[in-house]
Structure 1
Amino acid sequence: MRELTPDTTADYLRETGRIAPGVAASVRELSGGVSNVVLRVDVDGRPPFVVKQCRERLRVAVEWRARLDRIWVEHAVLRVLGSLLPADAVPSLLFEDRGEYLFAMTCAPDDAETWKARLLRGDADPAVAATLGDLLATIHVDAPGHPGFDPTLADTSLFDELRVDPYYRATARAHPRLESRFDALIAGMDLPRERRGLVLGDFSPKNILIHAGGLVLLDFECAHLGDPGFDLGFFLSHLALKRIHGAIDDRAFHALVDGFLGAYEARLGDRLGPAGEVRTRGIAHAAACLLARVDGKSPVEYLDAPGRDVARRSALALFDAVPDGWDAMIRVLDAEARRRG
């Protein structure tokens, strides 16, 4: 595979006929990813676009490799979501190169920034959270039956490689008393077909771009037909981490969670089984993901040592309490947040 860089991408695009000879082009690498190289290409006379190429070794502190064909999972998800979601909610595909493990897509507006960046500076708009809840439920419920759904997305092996093993099994090794709980949570994701949704596996603020005209969802290489509760817990753990960090206060945290969950459950209904069952699994995944972000293979980078302690205590308290609903989960998180205060 020819690994593209900002210095070599324009030549590659000319050699493959995607930029005409002699047309000026500039390339720069976009930040934020740990598993791919993402390059913005500006070409005279046409809109900018993005080239995304897979890398085998993920850019984290510990050794972590994943197979290159995961990029075609993302490609398959972009195809179905592009026709399922509102216009421009995901990038549009432009071309692909299977031999080089890359594809190109439209570029987000120039004023776009990650929702993570906004949250970390205290900009916590509950309307954004509500929109995300509605979009996620639409993806979970409607994507599996969509005509554009790729049957290969039923394969969960990449999700195991990129999430279950580095997050759940690695964290269980750090907390042996919870090993059986993690084992049960992993086994519980093997749901009957009618209760599975298209799970994104990386539905987090860093993969959501906000701009003046709306928002754009990114990064789908962990997607699979699976347990919707994982996406719920993964997303909620990120909101909890932002509060623990101090970027958002208690009131903003509650508003974000209420907006997200209210919109999600209104759209979901009982179409993937009883709402209470999805809720129970979501709470369990929230505890597991929260603990994984301090003691798994990919710890969150912005927490200090006291913050990591609060996140760890919060997760362990959720494991011990086994809350029976969202309100009970929030009460546990509130109690631990007050201890830091």
Structure 2
Amino acid sequence: MRELTAGDAADYLRSSGRLPAGVAVSVRELSGGVSNLVLRVDAEDRPPFVVKQCRERLRVALEWRARLDRIWVEHATLRVLGELLPPGAVPELLFEDRDEYLFAMSCAPDDSETWKTRLLRGDADPAIAAALGGYLATIHSDAPNHPTRDASLADTSLFDELRVDPYYRTTARAHPRLAPQFDALIAAMEPPIERRALVLGDFSPKNILVHSGGLVLLDFECAHLGDPGFDLGFFMSHLALKRIHGVISDEQYRRLADGFLGTYFERLGDRLGSSEDVERRGVAHTAACLLARVDGKSPVEYLDGPGREVARRSALALFAQAPDRWEFLHRVLDSEARVHPR
């Protein structure tokens, strides 16, 4: 595989016939990811587009490698979501190069910024959270049986490699007394086939772009058929972390959580089994993901030492009290925020 850079991507695009030989091209690397090279390409007389190429070694402090073919999981997921979601909600696929482990997609609007960026400056719009709840419910319930779904999405090995092992098993080694709870969560992540959702595995504010015309969802290399509770816990742990960090208030956190969860469960109904069971699993995964973002292989970068300790204590309290409803989870987090303020 030829590993592209911003400096030689234009030559690749010309030599592979993706762009004419004489066209003027500028390329710059986009920031934010740890597992892929992402390049924005601006060529004259055509809309800008993005080239995404997989990298084997992830850019984190600990040694972490992953299979290159995960990029085709993302490609397959984009194809399904492009059919399911409103126009523009995910990038449009343009071309692929299987030998070079890359594909190209449409570029988000120029006024886009990540929802993470907005949250970190205290801009916590519950309407965005509610819209995301609706999107995720549609993905979870409708994608598994969609005619464009690729058979590769039934494979959970990449999810294990990119999420279960670095997040859950690594964290369990740091907290041996919690190993049985983590083992039980892992074992339950392959529910009966009729209750499996298309789980994105990385549904977080950094992978959601906000612009004047709406939202764009990104990054799907962890997607698989599995437990919808993981996506709920992964997402909710990010909201809790922003609250712990102090960039959103307790009231803002509640409005975001209520908007997201209310729309999600209203749209989902009982199509993946009882909503109470999905809720219970989502709450359990929130505790696990919260602890994993402190003591797993990919700790959240914006918390300082005291913030990490509050997050750790909050997660351990959730494990100890084992709430099975969102309201009980919120109360535990409220209690920990009062006992261990920043």
| Cα separation, 1, equivalents of 2:301 and 2:211 | 25
Asked whether 1:50 is paired with 2:50, we answer yes
Paired position in structure 1 for 2:82: 82
Moved over 4 A (4+): none
| Cα separation, 2, equivalents of 1:26 and 1:250 | 44
Paired position in structure 2 for 1:153: 153
Cα deviation 1:145-174 (Å, max 9, x = unaligned): 111111110000000000000000000000
Paired position in structure 2 for 1:332: 332
Give the C-alpha shift of residue 255 in structure 1.
0.2
What TM-score, normalized by structure 1, do the two folds share?
0.99
Give the C-alpha shift of residue 130 in structure 1.
0.1
Instruction: Quote the sequence identity (%).
Output: 77
**One-letter code of the match for 2:230?**
F
Secondary structure at 2:99 match in 1: helix
| Cα separation, 2, equivalents of 1:138 and 1:207 | 18
Give the C-alpha shift of residue 336 in structure 1.
1.0
Secondary structure at 1:66 match in 2: coil
**One-letter code of the match for 1:116?**
K
Cα deviation 1:291-312 (Å, max 9, x = unaligned): 0000000000000001000100
Give the C-alpha shift of residue 22 in structure 1.
1.2
What TM-score, normalized by structure 2, do the two folds share?
0.99
The 5 Å alignment of 1:186-335 reads: 186-335=186-335
Secondary structure at 1:303 match in 2: coil
| Cα separation, 2, equivalents of 1:217 and 1:88 | 9
Cα deviation 1:305-336 (Å, max 9, x = unaligned): 01000100110111111112110010001111
| Cα separation, 1, equivalents of 2:261 and 2:319 | 21
Give the C-alpha shift of residue 190 in structure 1.
1.8
**One-letter code of the match for 2:20?**
A
Paired position in structure 2 for 1:140: 140
Give the C-alpha shift of residue 337 in structure 1.
1.5
Paired position in structure 2 for 1:113: 113
**One-letter code of the match for 2:41?**
V
Secondary structure at 1:313 match in 2: helix
| Cα separation, 2, equivalents of 1:229 and 1:187 | 13
**One-letter code of the match for 1:128?**
I
Does structure 1 retain, via aligned residues, the 8 Å contact 2:284–2:324?
no
Paired position in structure 1 for 2:2: 2
**One-letter code of the match for 1:288?**
A
Paired position in structure 2 for 1:169: 169
| Cα separation, 1, equivalents of 2:326 and 2:182 | 20
Superposition RMSD on alpha carbons, in Å?
0.5
| Cα separation, 2, equivalents of 1:190 and 1:183 | 13
**One-letter code of the match for 2:269?**
G
Q: Unmatched 5+ residue regions in structure 1?
A: none
Secondary structure at 2:69 match in 1: helix
**One-letter code of the match for 2:219?**
D
Paired position in structure 2 for 1:38: 38
**One-letter code of the match for 2:116?**
K
**One-letter code of the match for 1:219?**
D
**One-letter code of the match for 1:144?**
P
Cα deviation 1:257-281 (Å, max 9, x = unaligned): 0000000000110000011110010
Give the C-alpha shift of residue 114 in structure 1.
0.2
Secondary structure at 1:183 match in 2: helix
Give the C-alpha shift of residue 34 in structure 1.
0.2
**One-letter code of the match for 1:6?**
A
Secondary structure at 1:215 match in 2: strand
How many residues align? The count is: 341
| Cα separation, 2, equivalents of 1:123 and 1:201 | 25
Asked whether 1:183 is paired with 2:214, we answer no
Cα deviation 1:114-157 (Å, max 9, x = unaligned): 00000000000000000000000000000011111111100000
